[in-house]
Amino acid sequence: MSLPKIKYVLIALETKKILCEYIEDEIPNIQKVIRSVLDNRVKLDEASSLNYDNDYTIFYKNDSLITILCATDINYPNQTAFEFLNVLLNTFRSQYKEEDIKNAYSYSYNNDFKKIIKTKITYYNTNLDSKDLTNLDRLKDSLLDMKNNLLETVQTLHLRESELSHNVEKAEDLKVKTDELLINARKAKKLEKENTPFKKIIPIIIGGVVVYCIFAIMCGGSRMPNCSI
């Protein structure tokens, strides 16, 4: 596995002009990203980074006059990249007067300072601290674990949401059936109350019919010819 590298360096005067540019390895369409960083210099933090094209990281640092940035492989250690920018910015500032920098033409420091950039890049690309790389691997593993845990959590929440929806549907069905039973129970109770008088009269009617039948038998027929009152 090859070590991650610094591939590109740029030093600019605020947003106005590029003072020096060094390309170690070509990065597709890097100029568009660089232009965006420079155009938004006032809005950007003093030092920060952004990912580009999923393969590279752009590190940049601003001071009152200069923007310096570098593009690296995506897994280049952040701390080392910012250290590289600080060293390079301090070297540039100590070598050139501020008044000369303000009045400089575009790319006017390319001939002199590119050699220094190349030397610094070679050093930082070949002397990466093994501790930084170990920490980077740990960070990557940690992020991967975090991603997997997050996916598991999302899947669990989705499953619980489905179970909850199913339980809500069952509860709604149960409520409907319970409401129906309550309505039917009320109807039955009402009907029972309405039929109560008839239940009391029926035994009296039956009793009267039985008595009548007995007398009819004893008195020789329904008109009771053998009985006189």
- Is residue 123 domain-resident? yes
Beta bridge mates, 48: 60
Q: Kindly indicate the confidence band of residue 167, based on its pLDDT and cuts at 50, 70 and 90.
A: confident
Beta bridge mates, 6: 72
Predicted pLDDT of residue 74: 93
Across 188-202, average pLDDT: 64
- Is residue 140 domain-resident? no
Helix/strand/coil percentages in the chain, nearest 5? 60, 15, 25
- Is residue 179 domain-resident? no
Contact status, residue 79 vs residue 131, Cβ threshold 8 Å = no
Please check the confidence at residue 225 and state whether its pLDDT lies above 70: no
Between 94 and 223, residue with greater pLDDT: 94
- Chain-centre distance of CA 181, in angstroms? 46
- Is residue 124 domain-resident? yes
Closest C-alpha among 28, 30, 23 to residue 7:
23
Predicted pLDDT of residue 209: 62
| pLDDT tens track for 112-145 | 999 999 999 999 998 876 555 555 545 554 555 5
Tell me how far apart the alpha carbons of residues 97 and 95 are, in angstroms, rounded to a whole number: 7
Across 37-57, average pLDDT: 82
- Is residue 57 domain-resident? yes
Predicted pLDDT of residue 180: 79
Residue 47 per-residue DSSP state: E
Contact status, residue 28 vs residue 7, Cβ threshold 8 Å = no
CATH code, domain carrying 101: 3.30.450.50
- Is residue 185 domain-resident? no
| pLDDT tens track for 82-98 | 999 999 999 999 999 99
Based on the structure, what is the number of domains in the chain? Answer: 1
What residue has token string 């790389």?
A: 133
User: Domain range holding 80?
Assistant: 6-128
Predicted pLDDT of residue 203: 66
- Is residue 163 domain-resident? no
Predicted pLDDT of residue 82: 94
Please check the confidence at residue 52 and state whether its pLDDT lies above 70: yes
Between 130 and 17, residue with greater pLDDT: 17
Contact status, residue 5 vs residue 70, Cβ threshold 8 Å = no
Predicted pLDDT of residue 109: 95
- Is residue 15 domain-resident? yes
Predicted pLDDT of residue 40: 81
pLDDT mean across residues, the chain: 80
